[in-house]
Amino acid sequence: MSDWFSPDTTVVASTVGGLLIGLSAAVLLHGSGEVLAFTSCIGSLCDFDFPSPLKVVKDPENGWKFGFLASFLLTCEWWIANSESVIFDEAIMIPYWVTGLSGIMAGFGTKMANGCTSGHGISGLGRLSLRSLVAVCTFMGTAFLSASLSSPAFPLIYQRTTIIEEDKYHFPCHAARSVGKALTLSMVLLAIYSITWQLRSSKNGAEATPLVAGDGKQQQQDSPPATFRTFLGKFAAAMVAGPIFVSGLSIGGMNKPSKIVGFFDLTGFSRGTYDPSLAFLFASGILVSLIGYQFVEAQGIAKMDSITPVKRRSSVSGEFHIPKKSAIDSKLVVGSAIFGISMGISGYCPTPCMIMAISGFSDLLFLW
């Protein structure tokens, strides 16, 4: 058996990383009532209203997202400062054109499929969603295929999709690292602005909107619709989930494209380089997420619902915001297939790419 697997296989570390990722999903679910879906979180904050660009920051429904991303990026900074040589590949061997193509495909794919490895994989499979199961099977299948075809077993493709000469490898650069720090600081400031705005609004009703009562008289309803206490609770839970998520990705090896490709490249069995580590990460992450969903009404396994104290409301938000879409359509399948190909040819997954971009890999910074 040892002749099949890579000596870099990290069963324990990947399992621990997966447990942390699943724990992050559970904390976000029960603390904020939200589902862990990184690309959807980022995408919703990019919907700018250009006449009023701060509108998205002032929206109370987005507050927890800024808290999550701020703590996520701050924890990235800690890992980069203390364990950069451990959590990343020493160099990137992917040509720029492959990185660019992978990024475009990942963007289109996750948008069409409405999710990626965290949304459909950890959260979707954790709640036993058939839609997510189809998405995961599809992107896993195309990732296995594309990674295997891009391997040394197929030299003509391998030589065009991999940098073989060591002097052409990509390394982190100081300029990109400075931009990464600036992005982290910007997200922290936006999170502070968001929470400050909600505090001020809750105190003085700065944006009270008139409502017409049944007798025709105008009344006032404070905006934002959520109370500041609820807002703060969701914000705090999200800030706890963010660092756990980053730590799980970093310990589990998701920040290393070589490890992702090593998992999807099935031809590695014949060369003794196959790395099954990520199977342990996904399995342990989904398991913890699954356990978390057993305590949510109508989300657990039927036989377990009778023995677990189900919750109809999250700890602070008052309700769970769990996707209800169940349709399995062409957009889901095609989008997932495109996303899988993007992972297979490069080893890049959207969330770890954010961590790598912040660390100073200029091509990934530009990509994001």
Which residues of the chain are modeled with pLDDT < 70?
Answer: 1-2, 47-53, 165-171, 204-226, 300, 302-318, 363, 365-368
**Tens-place pLDDT, residues 227-285:** 888 888 899 999 999 999 999 999 999 999 989 999 999 999 988 889 999 999 999 99
pLDDT of residue 211: 43
pLDDT of residue 224: 46
Residues in the chain: 368
**Tens-place pLDDT, residues 202-237:** 776 544 444 444 444 444 444 444 588 888 889 999
* CA–CA gap between residue 128 and residue 134 (Å, rounded): 11
pLDDT of residue 143: 96
pTM for this model (two decimals) = 0.86
C-alpha pair distances (Å), 315 with each of 30, 123, 180, 294, 296:
6, 18, 34, 15, 11
CB crowding 171-186: b at 16 or more within 10 Å, else e: ebeeebbebbeebbee
Structure-block tokens of residue 98: 């492959």
* CA–CA gap between residue 364 and residue 355 (Å, rounded): 9
**Tens-place pLDDT, residues 174-183:** 888 888 899 9
The helix (run of H) or strand (run of E) holding residue 218 is: strand 218-221
Query: Any alpha helices (H) in the chain, and if so which ranges?
Result: 11-32, 38-45, 55-58, 63-87, 96-113, 125-126, 130-149, 155-161, 174-204, 228-252, 257-264, 268-271, 277-293, 302-305, 330-346, 350-359, 362-367
> What is the residue type of 258?
S
Structure-block tokens of residue 268: 């590695």
Max intra-chain CA distance, the chain: 81
* CA–CA gap between residue 273 and residue 259 (Å, rounded): 10
Q: How many CB atoms lie within 10 A of CB 319?
A: 9
pLDDT of residue 223: 45
* CA–CA gap between residue 91 and residue 106 (Å, rounded): 22
Structure-block tokens of residue 133: 């199961």
pLDDT of residue 213: 43
* CA–CA gap between residue 68 and residue 84 (Å, rounded): 22
- 294: buried, middle or exposed (CB in 10 Å: 19+, 13-18, 0-12)? middle
Structure-block tokens of residue 256: 């290393």
Estimate to the nearest angstrom the gap between the alpha carbon of 299 and the chain centroid: 21
Closest CA to 68 of 235, 250, 246: 235
pLDDT of residue 181: 92
Half-sphere exposure (Cβ direction) of 273: Cα atoms closer than 13 Å = 14
Estimate to the nearest angstrom the gap between the alpha carbon of 100 and the chain centroid: 19
**Tens-place pLDDT, residues 142-155:** 999 999 999 888 88
Q: How many CB atoms lie within 10 A of CB 247?
A: 20
pLDDT of residue 115: 84
pLDDT of residue 314: 58
* CA–CA gap between residue 155 and residue 359 (Å, rounded): 32
Residue with tokens 């891009």: 150
* CA–CA gap between residue 115 and residue 124 (Å, rounded): 9
pLDDT of residue 25: 94
* CA–CA gap between residue 352 and residue 116 (Å, rounded): 12
**Partners of 2 in the β-ladder:** none
pLDDT of residue 221: 47
Percent of the chain exceeding pLDDT 70 equals 82
Q: How many CB atoms lie within 10 A of CB 134?
A: 18
pLDDT of residue 5: 80
Structure-block tokens of residue 205: 């009703």
